[in-house]
Structure 1
């Protein structure tokens, strides 16, 4: 007879610590394809309700994909939220084994939630993982380019040529990655590309980021997509105190790209331009108005993907 249990996995570069919610034993597996297969084979002996891992900068993705491919429900949680849960449960010490046990208990709690489907999302496909890798590499190259240009302004004459050559090399690599990125999106995400390209202010970089980092676009409500990206204001009230509404959390890289797109949109997109003007004329601070425009732009893009309809100014008037 099988037993319904939840699993917590603490992921490191070289190893995986596995804890079951019904047992105090913690098992260790290598974080390799062979180790992933061994883990999946052992878990096949149980009726697994939910597997929870922390996001660890990519080390968790291979094992998560293997387990999901074997039919298991997998949730990747924010490390800060996991640690907050651990403190609330009295886990003050922190080791790999303790983290695995804590994640198993977190999985048990999450599995009992009525809205658990919100935390269990389909992991990236092979094509989407390639797209995410390209997006990450583009960001890295842009950061390197900015750093080298800053050094060029205050460098010793003897190393100016070296920095100039490095900048040229980075620019060439940027051209290569941008071309590969464009070809990949056209090959695998053409419908989304065609829809999002109809919006003034939304360029190739923004479209690529949205497709790669917000696969939920078009599947959530306006409130859910705003909270996911981190542009929804949250209350800070207690008793008679009414705090300022602020945004926090969400997907920082997406929010940064959305911010840049919004700065363009409030200049050249008639709908966003009018919306921004109305807010500022009503006395809203500049930053508040921009965030509101970011949220409106995101909601519009979400609706376009959901309805499979291109930009129509008459549908999005202020």
Structure 2
């Protein structure tokens, strides 16, 4: 039987770093956080992979769903849990590669629960909620500007 491999993924807006831990060795790779980058990453994984990533909202959602749909084990973890784990290891270096390797180690040691994506209608509701929040914020900003302009007296 093949050994379980743990891949920690540090996700950012435009890219993600994957660190795979196998037989005590860690290899890292950088991918673009878009359909093309995700597809090339999926091709590099074995069926014995377990991917662990921090919950970064919209940035990690597409990747988590793609992994889930491909049948790869995936866990999406609260960033605070990873931070606390790093503190116990006294890790102070902060690079994407180090973070990804730390996330892989967290997955191996803690065996976090597996991810199940929200139903499509729930994702749509979440997107609408975020859009509404942005609109309300923009409206408030606009009204504040109008109010400030109204206070300006002509010379």
TM range (shorter): 0.7 to 0.9
Please give the alpha-carbon distance, in whole angstroms, between the structure 1 residues aligned to 2:26 and 2:83: 19
Q: Which residues in structure 2 correspond to 1:165-314 (within 5 Å)?
A: none
| RMSD between aligned residues | 2.2
Aligned residue number for residue 36 of structure 1? 38
- Alignment of 1:124 with 2:118, yes or no, is yes
Aligned residue number for residue 47 of structure 1? 48
Q: Which one has a larger percent helix, Structure 1 or Structure 2?
A: 1
Please give the alpha-carbon distance, in whole angstroms, between the structure 2 residues aligned to 1:152 and 1:37: 47
1:102-155 superposed Cα distances (whole Å, 9 cap, x missing partner): 0000111222xxxx4xx4341123332222111111111122223333444443
Q: CA deviation at 1:7?
A: 1.4
Given candidates 136, 141, 151, the residue that maps to 2:135 is 141
How many residues are treated as equivalent by the alignment?
A: 151
Q: Which one has a larger percent strand, Structure 1 or Structure 2?
A: 2
Query: Secondary structure of the residue that 1:2 maps to in structure 2?
Result: coil
Task: Report the CA distance shift for 1:46/1:2 in structure 2 as closer, same or farther (over 3 A).
Answer: farther
Please give the alpha-carbon distance, in whole angstroms, between the structure 2 residues aligned to 1:62 and 1:154: 41
1:223-255 superposed Cα distances (whole Å, 9 cap, x missing partner): xxxxxxxxxxxxxxxxxxxxxxxxxxxxxxxxx
Contact 1:10 1:53 in 2 (8 A): yes
Q: TM-score, normalised by structure 2?
A: 0.84
Contact 2:21 2:27 in 1 (8 A): no
Contact 1:19 1:101 in 2 (8 A): yes
Aligned residue number for residue 84 of structure 2? 84
Q: TM-score, normalised by structure 1?
A: 0.44
Please give the alpha-carbon distance, in whole angstroms, between the structure 1 residues aligned to 2:136 and 2:32: 34
Structure ID, larger Rg: 1
Q: CA deviation at 1:92?
A: 1.1
Please give the alpha-carbon distance, in whole angstroms, between the structure 2 residues aligned to 1:156 and 1:18: 53
Gaps of 5+ in 1: 159-318
Contact 2:47 2:72 in 1 (8 A): no
